[in-house]
Amino acid sequence: MYPDLVLLHAGTGAVAIDLLLPHRDIDLVLLDYHLPDINGLDVLRQMGRIQPSLVVLMISGSTTLQLISQSLSAGAAGFVTKSGNTEDLRQAIAQVMAGEIYIPQEMRTQASPAAFSATAPLSKKQEQVLRLLMDGQTNREIAKALFVSEETVKTHVSAILRYFDADNRTQVVRAAANYAYSAPR
């Protein structure tokens, strides 16, 4: 199904961070919340500083709305439960790689409809892509600047277009500029 897939494994948060440094072309990280050495949220934040455009899907056996919210706030693109099945994981990966946020179905029903709405704030990765879009950079230039593939940039641009309900990059830049001026400071 994925002929070019290269899988890297890290048993600890420290090893995961060390693996990220020489592998700036990583498209997706499946990150366990409970690690033997470092809390998964701390690893997530460190990864975000190293590679802001990295898509991270948090995984945990403990599932609460608070844990999911903390993960998303720290930069995760989604959250999956260890009790989920293979199809849940496939769906989660597909959604986050398409620039969407993934929340387990059973948690969506427990939260208010607005809690995980489609208009959730842009992720840190998407914000960085947006800044570069606003600077007039092409997908190729953005990919080079963020050390990611052009496909990853396209995924983020698509999510940004959806967020601003825009049809093209020009509309996104205009909407983002208006948003920046109207946002509370």
pLDDT tens for residues 31-47? 999 999 999 999 998 88
Q: 85 and 135 in one domain?
A: no
Q: 24 and 90 in one domain?
A: yes
Q: 51 and 104 in one domain?
A: yes
Q: Is 2 inside a domain boundary?
A: no
Which are the contacts of 80, defined by CB distance < 8 A and separation ≥ 6?
Answer: 57, 58, 59, 88, 89, 92, 102, 104
Q: 95 and 45 in one domain?
A: yes
**Could you list the residue range(s) of the whole structural domain that residue 34 is in?**
13-108
Q: 53 and 26 in one domain?
A: yes
Cα–Cα nearest to 158, from 100, 77, 93: 100
Q: Structure pTM? A: 0.62
What tens digit of pLDDT does each residue of 89-133 get?
999 998 888 777 888 877 765 554 444 444 456 777 888 888 898
Q: 99 and 27 in one domain?
A: yes
Q: Is 113 inside a domain boundary?
A: no
Q: 176 and 90 in one domain?
A: no
Task: Indicate the pLDDT class of residue 2, thresholds 50, 70 and 90.
Answer: low
Q: Please give the tally of structural domains in the chain.
A: 2
Give me the pLDDT at residue 23, please: 85
What tens digit of pLDDT does each residue of 129-175 get?
888 988 889 999 999 999 888 888 888 887 787 777 777 787 787 77
Question: Tokens 């947006």 correspond to what residue?
Answer: 130
Q: Is 142 inside a domain boundary?
A: yes
Which of 108, 136, 154 lies at the terminal end of a domain, its last residue?
108
- What CATH number is associated with residue 99? 3.40.50.2300
The β-bridge relationship of strands 55-60 and 28-32 is parallel
Q: 82 and 29 in one domain?
A: yes
Q: 74 and 20 in one domain?
A: yes
Which are the contacts of 25, defined by CB distance < 8 A and separation ≥ 6?
Answer: 147, 148, 149
